[in-house]
Amino acid sequence: MSTPLPTDRELTDFVYAEARLLDELRFEDWLALFAEDGVYWMPLAPGQTDARLHASLMHEDKLLLQVRVERLRGARTYSQQPASRCHHLLQAPTVESRDEAAGVYLTRCAFHYVETRRDEQQLYAGWATHTLVATPAGLRIRLKRVDLVNCDATFGNMQLFM
């Protein structure tokens, strides 16, 4: 039985749904959107093409993402007492490419992201690129790349996910 090909609308709806899970702090559900070989990458330099040859703000496989999610929920995670909150404001995502034969799809979306805890609020802006794969269980994230406008700036602690 073959997996039906996703429409452009299904691909862009996936991006919106992923951001909503993060805004609702549903990190376990968000993590389930990643393929087993899924990676979350936030480059440290504009135009960076290889996370393994250069430093990154974040470059985490699914195991490391799971550890981070567990840390966010931990009773001894004092940096999350009280818990941080976030909000994504997304520009309409676009489907940049479709490889129907491989079941791989690329979307891109500009965003503004706010992360807040107590009286502190941080604003980030950039672009999120999702490499999505079609699986029998639905679309999954093979790579989420987050390119911040000011990726080479000095940052404080980013607690959540953009």
Average pLDDT of the segment spanning 105-116: 96
Q: Break the chain into its structural domains and give their ranges.
A: 8-148
- Reply yes or no on whether the pLDDT at 132 is more than 80: yes
* Mean pLDDT for the stretch of residues 96-119: 95
- The pLDDT of residue 2 is 65
Q: Who's near 26: CB < 8 A, 6+ residues apart?
A: none
Segment 20-24 mean pLDDT: 96
Select from 3.40.50.2300, 3.10.450.50, 3.50.50.60, 1.10.1060.10 the CATH code of 8-148: 3.10.450.50
What pLDDT sits at residue 155? 82
Across 32-41, 87-96, 146-155, least confident range: 146-155
pLDDT of 81: 76
Residues in CB range of 6: below 8 A, 6 or more apart: 14, 105, 132, 134, 139
